[in-house]
Structure 1
Amino acid sequence: MAFNGNLQSETTKGQGAATILAIGTANPPTCYDQASFPDFIFRMTEREDKVELKAKFQRICDRSGIDKRYVHITEEMLKAHPNLYTTGAPSYDTRQELLLSDVAELGKEAALRAIKEWDQPISMITHLVCSTATGIEMPGMDYQLSKLLNLNNDVQRYMYYQQGCYSGAAAIRAAKDLAENNPGARVLVVSSELLSTMFFHGPDANELDHLVGAAIFGDGATSVIIGTHPDLAIERPLFQLESAKQILIPGSEAFSHIGISDWNSLFYIVHPGGPAILNKVRDALSLKEDKLRASFQVLKDYGNMGGPSVIFAMDEMRKRALKEGKPTTGDGLQWGVLIGLGPGVTMETIVLRSCPIQQA
């Protein structure tokens, strides 16, 4: 389907569709190759005698579809806090102390990159929407970020706590409503996770989920800026948020209003929670092999970062479209869908309309 160049939403008409105006991402500095990660984990947790368990963990890592991951947890941290991996040792307070300031700082880094790309005064931010499953603090990350970024004192703050991997998509859905119902609003969305430290445990044959978590979790933060009626003289629209729903089922009416019946005519930004998840989505919709390449690439380069992962995939898609000379940010297509997946199972879906590359 060719893009007609008209930025006006076909469904919201004069109301103005919420549009993503900038994207920023950030990761901790520590990076591990997936192939050597089992050696690190079993050495640091003093379990090198568990040969069979290590072999099982190696197989999990090898099948994860991940090449490398950026993680918050470090060798120095484990040496200083052995209770993080000692079975039965209290560790929650330790994790809170290690995480709460750093998760906000990583979110700040992503937000500053989005604001730099947006290239407008930070005083224009009217709303802040945050999400994290890393630790629990009241006031929360939204309050910390408003101080770290020196946002206006009257900025309206919203917080998504402990919502799992679909929280990044849920935060964007909330931002869409805020932008479309507050004229002139510019909403800053920040999703930040340090899952490697929050959920780290020593390898245990009786706790297979701990092994899987250690094999796939990476750490990262994302930020987007959302508003309506972008000023094309100073702002560069990337994706329109056409509609938002919490479930997408093949054969549903999600795209009937825009005349879409061929699932392969859409672009896809899917939470890269693991190869099994991505393969199931691709099989259920009978998608071509390359339809989920942005999600597979993020999984390969970063692992599962929780809520930020799906925005990393969005960033990967628009950058690849520019590099490959595609006409739009959505892999050259006009319409697509963002899918956030989380516990429950929960599906958070947003219908997207890509924007011309020359404007983005």
Structure 2
Amino acid sequence: MDDLHCIFLAANKVLTSKHGRLNVSGEQVQVKKRYFQVTDDLLSAHPDLLDPSLPSIDARLQAVASALPELAAAAAAKAIAEWGRPASDITHLVVSTSSGAQIPGIDVRVASLLGLRPTVRRTMLYFQGCTGGAAALRVAKDAAENNRGARVLAVCADVLSAMAFHAPGDGDDIEGAVAHAIFGDGAGAVVATIPGTERLVTGDVGSAGLGYNLAPVEVPVLVAGNIEEILAGAAAPLGGVVEEGGGWNSLFWVVHPGSPMILKSYEKVLGLEPGKLAASRRVLGEYGNMIGPTVIFVLDEVLRRRRKEGEDGGEGCKWGLLVGLGPGFTAEVMVLRARK
């Protein structure tokens, strides 16, 4: 398999706005800052975005269609530059987003902006939510392993703010306020679905944009009750490495940081040592929950920490797990092996 090259690339290219119209304590959600595609100019041109009682879906979809391809291409361009080979060498493109839907998909525009070959094989993934980054990596891995000489670029981008942003009203519930405080915009596996949880973590597109049901109390409990069994199934092909090497602490971790409570569930149930999820916490604090791209940011942070001599962020661990949780309620798990 040495002649196969699968590019799982992450890049932290994001857009920002100085708007801040919701007052939810950053200490509560442990998010210090986020980045938004929603700008003052956009809000001035479309004041309906601030009023949840007004229909605004057309304006929101237009904003997404304008910003999303450029954001995704900027992240991909940085990743390709770090790879060090021409963009024209890319044979497969996997693009994942939960922000809007277009025909043709944004993959066509991204391929054009990057200068990819017209024959590049494109795959679009829509509305995978917070498992979008992990799902894109899984599809990219399958493409690389089953196509000799494949060079696969996986891109995940979301500008959820344009779909969900609105000013708070008197009747706003706590779930909506928490969602606004956690979610931000950004551009960067065994599949397990837990039965009977379809109502948890859902999103509905309506006249006022995208509404999210996060079930912030139930989801961490659900994670605590199921995650070890899911991960054990994913790690089974390692042939006892987990048990012989010190349990779950023998691995490095690339975990989608859905919320502080979810991260605590991982630590409590799996008995993870302090610092094992430090990369996830840093990404949550610096960027918030960017939906699909978040786990790719965490992967980038884990790699950065591993390269930094003497820092405990998975240094020395040969095997790791990449985990994304999303709507459904679903889990995407991928076993990783460090090259060094």
TM-score band, normalised by the shorter chain? 0.7 to 0.9
Tell me the residue number matched to 1:337. 321
Structure 2 residue 75 is the aligned partner of structure 1 residue 75: no
Give the Cα separation in 2 of the matches to 1:307 and 1:255.
23
Give the Cα separation in 2 of the matches to 1:257 and 1:346.
21
- 1:28 is paired with a residue whose SS is coil
- 1:187 is paired with a residue whose SS is strand
Q: Is the 8 A contact 2:8 2:154 kept in 1?
A: no
Deviates more, 1:252-261 or 1:298-307: 252-261
- 1:116 is paired with a residue whose SS is helix
Structure 2 residue 14 is the aligned partner of structure 1 residue 27: yes
Structure 2 residue 302 is the aligned partner of structure 1 residue 312: no
Q: Is the 8 A contact 2:16 2:38 kept in 1?
A: no
Provide structure 2 residue ranges, at least 5 long, that are not aligned to the other structure: 193-225
Structure 1 residue 220 displacement after superposition = 0.5
Give the Cα separation in 2 of the matches to 1:284 and 1:145.
41
AA partner of residue 163 (structure 1)? Q
The TM-score with structure 2 as length reference comes to 0.82
Structure 1 residue 18 displacement after superposition = 6.4
- 1:128 is paired with a residue whose SS is strand
Give the Cα separation in 1 of the matches to 2:249 and 2:285.
23
Q: Is the 8 A contact 2:125 2:136 kept in 1?
A: yes
Residues 271 and 203 (structure 1), Cα distance of their counterparts in 2 relative to 1, 3 Å cut: same
Aligned counterparts, 1:215-254, within 5 A: 215-222=181-188, 244-247=189-192, 249-251=227-229, 252-254=232-234
- 1:263 is paired with a residue whose SS is helix
Structure 2 residue 129 is the aligned partner of structure 1 residue 144: no
Deviation beyond 4 Å, 4+ runs, structure 1: 14-22
Give the Cα separation in 1 of the matches to 2:105 and 2:233.
38
Give the Cα separation in 2 of the matches to 1:267 and 1:66.
23
Q: Is the 8 A contact 2:15 2:186 kept in 1?
A: yes
Q: Is the 8 A contact 1:317 1:331 kept in 2?
A: no
Residue among 151, 164, 172 paired with 2:129 = 164
AA partner of residue 132 (structure 1)? T
Give the Cα separation in 2 of the matches to 1:310 and 1:332.
21
The count of corresponding residues between Structure 1 and Structure 2 is 299
Tell me the residue number matched to 1:256. 236
- 1:138 is paired with a residue whose SS is coil
The percentage of counterpart residues that share the same residue type is: 44
Give the Cα separation in 1 of the matches to 2:334 and 2:168.
37
- 1:290 is paired with a residue whose SS is coil
Structure 1 residue 22 displacement after superposition = 4.4
Bigger Cα Rg: 1
Residues 119 and 67 (structure 1), Cα distance of their counterparts in 2 relative to 1, 3 Å cut: same
Give the Cα separation in 2 of the matches to 1:176 and 1:18.
9
Tell me the residue number matched to 1:89. 54
Residues 154 and 168 (structure 1), Cα distance of their counterparts in 2 relative to 1, 3 Å cut: same
Provide structure 1 residue ranges, at least 5 long, that are not aligned to the other structure: 1-13, 43-56, 223-243
Tell me the residue number matched to 1:8. none
